[in-house]
Structures are given as C-alpha cells and as structure tokens.
Amino acid sequence: MSKSASFVRGLFDGELAEASLFPYPAPLSERAPEEATTARRLVTELRRLVDAGIIDPAQMDQDEIIPEAVIEAFAACGMLSLSIPREYGGLGLSASGYAVVAGAVSAVDASLGVLIGVHCGLASKAIVMFGNAEQKARYLPMLARGETLGAYALTEPETGSDAQNIVSRAERAPDGMGWLLTGRKHWIGNGQRAGVIVTFAQTPVERDGKMVQRPTAFIIRPDMPGFRVHGTIRKLGIRASTQAELIFDGIYVPDDHVLGEVGKGFKVAVNALNAGRLSLAAGCTEAAKLLVGEYIAYGELRQQFGAPLASFEVTQRKAATLAADTYAADAMVGALAAALDGGDVDASLEAAIAKVFASELIWRASDEMVQLAGGRGFVKPWPYERYLRDARINRIFEGANEILRLYVGLNGVQGPAAQLQELAEALKSPLQHWERVAEYASDRVKSALGRHEKFDARFHARLEPHARYIEKHTAELARATERAIMRHKKRLIERQMVVERLADMAAELYARAVTVSRTQRLIDTQGLDATTRELDLCDLFCVTSGRRFRELRIALQEGGETIDDRRRAIAAQLRADQGYGTTAALLDVPTPARTPPSLTPPAAPEVPELVETQ
Ligand SMILES: Cc1cc2nc3c(=O)[nH]c(=O)nc-3n(C[C@H](O)[C@H](O)[C@H](O)COP(=O)(O)OP(=O)(O)OC[C@H]3O[C@@H](n4cnc5c(N)ncnc54)[C@H](O)[C@@H]3O)c2cc1C
C-alpha cells in the first residue's frame, strides 16, 4: 500500500498501513510555529470575550440568539476567516490550525461552534475547494471580513440522510444563461442571516446517452428574486444558533454561480462535510476535556455520606473512563488533522470514525456530568442540563452516526468484496468452478505473504502488548469481514447489524492505534517519567477497547448472528402490531397509541426580525 493509503480501509483486509499513523505527527507548534501563534492568539481572544461578558453562553441559550456584538468581535479578530486563504484576506489556517480554533470555540459554546462550523467549515470551505478564481475573488473576501455570514443548504424536508436524492430542481432558464431554482431547504444554520449560501439542486445531465437528474452546487444570494426565509426553528439544544427554512421559488441563478461542475454537486457536498467532520470532532473533544475538569471539581465540592463524591470508587471509575476516552479522541483529532494537512491522503473513513467517536464521547460525558450533579444536573441555573441539550445534535448532523458507521463498514468491505465477488459466484456450484476456488485459495496465500500484518514501528515495552493486540485483532477483523462477505454475499448491504459491527471493530482498532502512536511519540520526545499519566490513560483505553472489540467479534461468529434473527423477528412483529402490543404484567389494559407522528410542523413559526446582511 502507498504512503497515502487509508489506515482504516486497510484494516478490513488485514493490512496495517502504518505509514499514515507512525510516527505520530509533531504538534502544530513544531510543524508550523507561526500558525500556532495565530491559533494561540485567537484562543486568548476568545477567553477575553468570555471574561468581558461579551460571550455569555447561558444568556445566549436563554435568548436563543447570538448577539451581533459577538459576530462583530469574531469578525474583528479574524475568527470568521479561519479557513479562507490569505490571498483573499483570510488567515489561511491549515486543517490542524482550524481544528484548534474551531474546537476551542465549540468548547466555550456549542452554538458558536455551529456558527463557525457552518460559516468557515462548510460554506467558505466549499468555495475555497470548488470555486473558480472569479467566485473566490467575489465571495471569499467578504466572508473573511465577516461582512456577511455563509450558509450551507443541503437538507430538505423530504431528504436528510439520503442527500443524494434531494428534490430541489434547477432547470435551464429561457435566456440560456442561467438556471431557475425551485425547492425548499430546512434547518439551515445561519440561513436567516447569511449573505452567501451554498446550496444544491437536481439538474438534468447526460449520462451514457441518457438524460438523468444529478445534483449541482450553486452559490445563491438572499437578494435574488424568488428567495425567501420562511422562518426559524426552536430546538432542544444549541439554541443560540439559528436554523432557518429557505424557499427557492424559481430563483434565477446565473451560470457563473454554479459551484464546481454541473451534475457534480454531490462531490462538493461530500468534500465539504468531510472537512467539517474534523472540526466537529475537535469541538466535541475540547468540550469533553473541559467536562472532565468540571466533573472532578464538582465531585470534590459536593459531600455526601461525609465524603466528597470524588472519593467514591464509582465516581472514579466514570472519571477515569471519560479521561481515557478523551485522550483517545484527542489522539484521533491530532492524527486526522495532520493527515488532512499532508494532502494526498484518503481520510474520509478516519474522519467519519472521529466524528462518531467524539460525538458519542461528549454525549456520555455530559450525561455523566448531569448524573454526578444529581438534581442540580437537571435544573437551571446550573449549566449541566444545557451541556446535555447542546451535545445531542452532534450525533445527528453532519452525517447521522448510524449512516457514518454504515459508510465506514460498506467502504471497508468493498476491497475484500471485490476480491471475493468472483469466488462467491464460484461457490454457488463449487465442483463446476473448482479451478476458480483453488486459484482464490492460492491467491490468498500469496496476498497474505505480501500483506503488511505486523507493525514495523518500534514500541516501548509498556506499549508492546497493545501493539500485539492491534495486530491480532486486525487479522480477526479481516477474517470476520471475509466470513461476512462469504455468508451474506450481495445481501450484506442489507445486513446492517453485521456491517455496523465490522465498522465498530475497525473504529476500535483505529482509535487504539492512534492512541498508542501518540503515546509512543510522547515517550520519545519527553521521556517515560514525564509520560506516566498518558501511559495510564493509554492502558485503560486499549484494554477497554480490546474488550469491546472481542464482544463485537463474538457477535459476528457462527451462532452469534442468530440473535440478529430474533431482533428482525421482534421488529417485524412491532411493525405488524404498530407498537408494543404485548400483554402487561400487572393489568392487561392495551397500551394506548400516542398521537400519530407527523413529518410537518403543526404551523409555520413567526418569522423573527431579519438582521441586515449587506
Ligand atoms: C440543529 C440542526 C442544524 C442543522 N444544520 C444544517 C445545515 O446547516 N445545513 C444542512 O444542510 N442541514 C442541516 N441540518 C440537517 C441535518 O444535517 C439532518 O438533520 C441530518 O442529516 C439527518 O437528516 P434527517 O433529520 O432528515 O433524518 P433522517 O434522514 O430522517 O434520518 C433519521 C434517522 O434515521 C436513521 N437512518 C436514516 N437512514 C438510515 C439507513 N439507511 N439505515 C439505517 N438508519 C438510517 C438515522 O439514525 C438517522 O438519525 C441541521 C439539523 C439540525 C437539527
């Protein structure tokens, strides 16, 4: 495998493509000292805004708005230009620099994290990656100065996860110089304030001599006739960030507003989201670091049964687990950011894993914080209930975690599946196709010989056992993948319970490998004595991750999957009964049905006062 090969992709084939992970990358301060200084300046400025009361997370949550003063302060210090190249007036931060600053913003306030993520990470970044010279010159300077905000409008009432099948349409305009855009987008971050909106609509394109509909990306402006903001939404969390419903009522969009190529809009959408997943993971990880601190501080303060909560073993078990998981998430964010900065690297599976891991970590961390704080965790004015509300969305947006797991699993099995496809056909009638089966068996021996199944990297004795387990478990993942393909053949795509387990096994391995790699680097650079704290975190994470891996492997073994048949049968029964439908233990009265769900809100909310863009 080449140096730029994806580590995660290789795992499914039993390959340890370690060049992308070992040695662990140097911190930003060593790789790019000037950029590290800029990142530090912005983080300091952020703290100043909090200390000065300009950023007040509790107040913003209550008012459900980010005050203009905060946006102006962000614009003044360059916070809205993070991902925009210097030639267009931006700070031109690398993926690593961007992750540091965006992570710090999210940790201070999740709504501000969404504002930055949408403006810098999605909208501006899509133009940086896919805009032509003229589009960049027209839009990036105004976005960098913060004269207006950017939005990224993909989701529609009909299509969320299945984004490729959006129903908004763009037809050629009668003058032949533009497009007429019709559709509806909902829950669009910054949508009510944005002056530059990157959006997507189906367009007719020719493929293999036939006309088909394929998404195209467009840049639209709110002053284009036919554009309307329908209203904003009220939410469980990230209440200060605004999401709006946007109506495209035959908007005339000139040809020079097409972003990238006609019919290639899905590529724009996916690439922007891939980049966005790093900052989301960084935000969740930085917030988790703060929560570990608050957890301990609260545990020391609150006394019950004559002792601080922090002195009880149950509290300690939870704190240690959160700290170890946070250490692993941090290692993942560092490795992913450096990989993206390295350029020519296929890191989409790693980005998906980091997003899933970090978003589930911050959910667990804020849930445990609420639990430790007891009643104070549930009520205002303590901030813990807000942390929990704010954390929830991370598992849903920028790719729901279930979808990302399937993405990792299905992409991972693609390599082995391609090799095995022919064999699977042959196995249908093995005697007839014996030659092909024998050929495959000898190919397996050959490819196993050439395969990189052991680490070349050198490990400290404390880390050796972890490295050996990663090697052993990688071989087990390859075997489990092969077995799943042979067993389910083409139907594997429908066997989501199997695919998601394979994805989780790969995620455990990736998380462990980056954690070990980071710890080895710390030992190399600062010595063993200065690394005892990190070694403990690494040990705890690797051991618990190994246990989770084993459970997943057992669930995939012969017999393990039979419980999936039971799950399918129960789900079929629930669907047939349209509910629980089971006799009650105490008094057999039927469980009443709740009001049937609806996919549309009861009434359109009032349009709040519009803030002037430019
Ligand atoms: C606060 C907020 C901010 C947002 N900001 C933006 C924004 O700025 N721009 C934008 O374009 N969008 C935005 N969104 C939309 C967001 O990206 C979508 O909500 C998300 O992609 C999921 O789509 P959906 O809500 O339609 O859920 P659905 O697609 O209906 O999916 C619901 C659930 O079903 C499950 N599921 C779906 N498909 C499958 C499958 N094939 N197999 C198994 N399980 C499946 C998943 O668990 C998923 O969580 C935002 C949403 C919210 C709530």
**Active-site residue identified among 398, 500, 534, 561:** 398
For CA atoms 469, 472, 476, 477, the dihedral sign is positive
Residue whose CB lies within 8 A of the most ligand 1 atoms, among 120, 397, 401, for a mutation test: 397
* Separation in Å, CA 81 to CA 70, 116, 179: 15, 9, 30
Would you say residue 595 has pLDDT above 60? yes
Pocket probe mutation, ligand 1, options 114, 152, 166, 187, max atoms within 8 Å of Cβ: 187
At residue 1, the pLDDT reads 41
Closest ligand 1 atom, CA of 241? 1
Q: 3-state DSSP call for residue 76?
A: helix
Q: Whose CA is nearest to atom 24 of ligand 1?
A: 160
Question: Tens of pLDDT along 380-396?
Answer: 999 999 999 999 999 99
Q: Name the residue at shortest CA distance from atom 39 of ligand 1.
A: 403
Residue-by-residue DSSP string for 176-217: SSEEEEEEEEEEEETTTTEEEEEEEEEEEEEETTEEEEEEEE
Residue nearest to atom 44 of ligand 1 (CA): 402
Residue 146's DSSP bridge partners are: none
Tell me how far apart the alpha carbons of residues 55 and 70 are, in angstroms, rounded to a whole number. 6
- Band (pLDDT 50/70/90 cuts) for residue 184 is very high
Atom of ligand 1 nearest to the CA of 398: 17
Q: How far apart are CA 130 and CA 403, in angstroms?
A: 25
Of 24-28, 177-181, 388-392, 438-442, which gets the smallest average pLDDT? 438-442
- Residue 392 CA, ligand 1 centroid: distance in Å: 13
Residue 192 has pLDDT above 50, yes or no: yes
What pLDDT does 434 receive?
Answer: 47
**Helices 313-341 + 496-526 axis angle, to 10:** 90
Q: Is the pTM of this model over 0.85?
A: yes
The residue whose CA is least distant from atom 41 of ligand 1 is: 403
User: For residue range 541-580, what is the model confidence (pLDDT) as tens digits?
Assistant: 999 999 999 999 999 987 788 999 999 999 999 999 999 9
Which residue's alpha carbon is nearest to atom 38 within ligand 1?
A: 161
Band of the pLDDT at 320, cuts 50, 70, 90?
Answer: very high
CB 346 within 8 A of CB 295: no
What is the distance between the alpha carbons of residues 251 and 175, in angstroms, rounded to a whole number?
14
Nearest CA to ligand 1 atom 19: 397
Q: Which atom of ligand 1 is nearest to the CA of 233?
A: 1
Respond yes or no: is residue 398 known to be catalytic: yes
The b-or-e profile of 471-507 (16+ CB within 10 A means b, else e) is bebbbbbbebbbebbeebbeebeebbebbbbbbbbbb
Mean pLDDT of 64-91: 97
pLDDT band for position 431 (50/70/90)? very low
Q: Which of 339, 506, 330, 274 has the alpha carbon at shortest distance from 3?
A: 339
Report the residue among 359, 396, 492 best suited for mutation to probe ligand 1: largest number of ligand atoms under 8 A from its CB: 396
Nearest-atom number in ligand 1 for the CA of 122 is: 8
Closest residue CA from atom 6 of ligand 1:
188
Closest-CA residue, ligand 1 atom 53, reads 187
Band (591; pLDDT cuts 50, 70, 90): confident
- Going from the Cα of 500 to the center of ligand 1, the distance in angstroms, rounded, reads 18
- For residue 162, the ligand 1 atom closest to its alpha carbon is 29
Expressed in angstroms and rounded, the spacing between residue 272 Cα and the centre of ligand 1 is 16
In the reported structure, the alpha carbon of residue 185 is separated from the centroid of ligand 1 by a whole-number distance in angstroms of: 13
Index of the ligand 1 atom closest to the CA of residue 238: 1
- Among 155, 159, 165, residue to substitute to test ligand 1 (most atoms within 8 Å of Cβ): 155
- For residue 333, how far is its CA from the centre of ligand 1 (angstroms)? 23
Q: Determine the residue of 403, 501, 599 to mutate for testing ligand 1's pocket, defined as the one with the most ligand atoms within 8 A of the Cβ atom.
A: 403
Q: Tell me, in angstroms, the distance from the centre of ligand 1 to residue 163's CA.
A: 9
Q: Whose CA is nearest to atom 4 of ligand 1?
A: 187
Contacts of 138 (CB under 8 A, 6+ apart): none
What pLDDT, in 10s, does the model give residues 9-59? 999 999 999 988 999 999 999 999 999 999 999 999 999 999 999 999 999
**pLDDT tens sequence across 240-265:** 999 999 999 999 999 999 999 999 99
What residue's CA is closest to ligand 1, atom 32? 161
Q: How far is the CA of 404 from the centre of ligand 1 (A)?
A: 11
Q: What is the mean pLDDT of the chain?
A: 92
Q: Binning pLDDT at 50, 70 and 90, where does residue 430 land?
A: very low
Question: Does position 444 have pLDDT exceeding 70, yes or no?
Answer: no
Q: How far is the CA of 399 from the centre of ligand 1 (A)?
A: 7
Summarised one tens digit per residue, pLDDT across range 92-138 is 999 999 999 999 999 999 999 999 999 999 999 999 999 999 999 99
Q: How far is the CA of 21 from the centre of ligand 1 (A)?
A: 31
List of residues 6+ apart from 540 with CB closer than 8 A: 320, 321, 324
Q: Which distant-in-sequence residues (6+ apart) come within 8 Å of 570 by Cβ?
A: none
| Closest ligand 1 atom to 159 CA | 26
Return the amino acid letter for 116.
I
Note the pLDDT tens digit of each residue in 203-235.
Answer: 999 999 999 999 999 999 999 999 999 988 999
Q: What is the pLDDT of residues 479-536, one digit of tens each?
A: 999 999 999 988 999 999 999 999 999 999 999 999 999 999 999 999 999 999 999 9
Judge whether 128 and 83 are in contact, CB under 8 Å.
yes
- In the reported structure, the alpha carbon of residue 596 is separated from the centroid of ligand 1 by a whole-number distance in angstroms of 21
| C-alpha R_g of the chain | 26
Report, as an integer, the average pLDDT of 193-201.
97
Atom of ligand 1 nearest to the CA of 235: 1
343 DSSP 8-state letter: -
Per residue in 256-303, pLDDT (tens digit) is 999 999 999 999 999 999 888 999 999 999 999 999 999 999 999 999
Q: Which residues line ligand 1 (CB under 6 A)?
A: 118, 152-155, 160-161, 187-189, 235, 238, 243, 393, 396-397, 400, 402-403, 496
Tokens of 536: 């403990």
Q: Would you say residue 614 has pLDDT above 50?
A: no
